[in-house]
Amino acid sequence: MDREFIYLNRETVNKYLTPEDVISVIKRIWKNWKKDIFIEGEHTFLPAGIHTGNEFLHMPACLPEDNILGFKWINCYTDPACGYPFSHDNIVVLNDMTTGSLKAIVNVTDITAMRTAGGHGVAAARCLQKGPLKTLSVLGNGSQAVCGIRGFLCEFPEIESVKVYCRRKEAFESMKKMFEKRVRLEYVEDSREAGKDADVILAATSSREVLLKYEDLTPGVTVIALNGFIDIDPAISYKADKWFVGNLRTDRKEIIDSKEMSHGQDLNDEDIYGELPKAAAGMIQGRESGREIIVYTHMGLGVYDVACADLVCQKAAEKKDGVRIQI
């Protein structure tokens, strides 16, 4: 039996996957949260050598209704080789669930950023936002920050101002050129000022410094923290009116049990109000008043990447695009 699979490189993925696609994928998964439409396997970390601080992360997932299963394989190098980034060359491997056959290998380096800040970060804000979102504050200037702004502008066209804190003014100028035709970007020199009068704050840095404290937050704000409490005050977890996570099992392991995510401070899972997807599915309350301060932390799920990769495969197949490889 001759079999083949499709390989999609980074360029092909970016040709077919839009911010709207990613947001729609997350919303669909969250809307059907109580129907158990997916199975998320255990996230496992494999050290890349001894005492290097570098590791690989394996994130398996299955979507029975879509007849696919697969896994994300991602490197997280806190001590990268000279000239290499923290994470790169990430892939998703897809299999046909019925036959078990290899279906595709997809470069998901950009899917990672899109499904995080511009995916579940945006979906979380939509779930928690009551009324128009006028001011978005962003901590960071990397790919997560850029994808986040792009996703937020797609979902919330009413945004009037984006305040950006980053250490390098030239990085802000580069971001400003990307978005100046769509929205006004304002540079903020002090990270703690970024929290003033914002409707939503997107923390999208890898900084090990606390950039935002609870005292900096305005009543009614939603804080979207993409890296746990690595760059914001861990006290926000219990001082906020509500602390949502994306998935209790995985986020408990990757945020609460990890001292690296909280500057060595103890986080208490009893302070968690609930899983935000449950609020999106109508199972629990989300925002109940315009003055609640709400924080959302989530390290992500493999099912997001697998679903996005499968969608790209479908689009590429329709155009007969991608590289076909015989097994």
Q: What is the mean pLDDT of residues 92-120?
A: 95
Same-domain pairing of 103 and 216 = no
- Whether residue 202 is predicted with pLDDT greater than 90 in this model: the reply is yes
Q: 117 vs 205, 219, 226, CA distance in Å?
A: 11, 23, 7
C-beta pairs of 95-98 under 8 Å, 24+ apart in sequence: 95/68, 95/69, 95/70, 96/67, 96/68, 97/62, 97/64, 97/67, 97/68, 97/69, 98/67
pLDDT digits (tens, 9 = 90+) for 11-22: 999 999 999 999
Q: What share of the chain is helix, strand, coil (3-state, %, to 5)?
A: 35, 25, 40
CATH number at residue 80: 3.30.1780.10
Same-domain pairing of 62 and 202 = no
Same-domain pairing of 128 and 90 = no
pLDDT digits (tens, 9 = 90+) for 267-304: 999 999 999 999 999 999 999 999 999 999 999 999 99
Same-domain pairing of 120 and 229 = yes
Instruction: Write down the mean pLDDT value for the chain.
Output: 94
CA separation for the pair 173, 183 (Å, rounded): 14
Strands 184-188, 242-245: parallel, antiparallel or unpaired by DSSP? Answer: unpaired
Question: For the chain, how many structural domains are there in total?
Answer: 2
Same-domain pairing of 208 and 157 = yes
CA separation for the pair 11, 190 (Å, rounded): 36
Q: What three-state secondary structure class fits 319?
A: coil
Comparing 171 with 105, the larger pLDDT belongs to 105
- Whether residue 2 is predicted with pLDDT greater than 80 in this model: the reply is no
Domain limits at 14? 4-111+302-326
Same-domain pairing of 86 and 209 = no
CA separation for the pair 101, 79 (Å, rounded): 36
Check residue 116 and give left, alpha or beta (phi > 0: left; psi -120 to 50: alpha): alpha
Single pTM value for the model: 0.94
Same-domain pairing of 119 and 260 = yes
Same-domain pairing of 190 and 314 = no
- pLDDT range class, residue 1, cuts 50, 70, 90: low
Same-domain pairing of 123 and 219 = yes
